[in-house]
Homo-oligomer: A and B are copies of this chain.
Amino acid sequence: MDNSGTFAHQHDGAGCAQHVRGDDCRFCNVRHLSICAALDPEELSFLEDMSGDAIYAEKSTLFREEDDVVSIFNVTFGVVRLVRSLSDGRRQITGFALPGDFLGLSLEKNWSFTAEAVTEVRACRFKRSIFEDFSDRKPHLMKRMHEFATHELSLAQDHMVLLGRLTAEEKIATFLVAMKRRWTRVEGHELGLIRLPMGRQDIADYIGLTIETVSRVINQMQRDRKLVIVPDGIRFVDPAYFDEHALR
CB-based contact A150/B108 at 8 Å: yes
Q: Provide the main secondary structure of the chain A interface.
A: helix
Please choose the segment from A7-15, A136-144, A227-235 that sits at the chain B interface, where 4 or more of its residues have CB less than 8 A away.
A136-144
Q: Mark A159-195, 1 if CB is under 8 A from B, else 0.
A: 1110111000000000000000000000000000000
A243 CB → nearest B CB, Å: 14
User: Contacts A146-B149, A149-B150: A160 and B157 contacting too (C-beta < 8 A)?
Assistant: no
CB-based contact B107/A150 at 8 Å: yes
* A136 surroundings in chain B (CB, below 8 A): 139, 143
A189 CB → nearest B CB, Å: 26
User: Contacts A139-B142, A143-B142: A94 and B160 contacting too (C-beta < 8 A)?
Assistant: yes
* A112 surroundings in chain B (CB, below 8 A): 154, 157
Could you write out 26 A-B pairs with CB less than 8 Å apart?
A84-B160, A86-B165, A91-B165, A92-B164, A92-B165, A94-B157, A94-B160, A105-B146, A106-B150, A106-B151, A106-B153, A106-B154, A107-B146, A107-B150, A108-B150, A113-B157, A139-B139, A142-B142, A142-B146, A145-B146, A146-B146, A149-B149, A149-B150, A152-B153, A156-B157, A164-B205
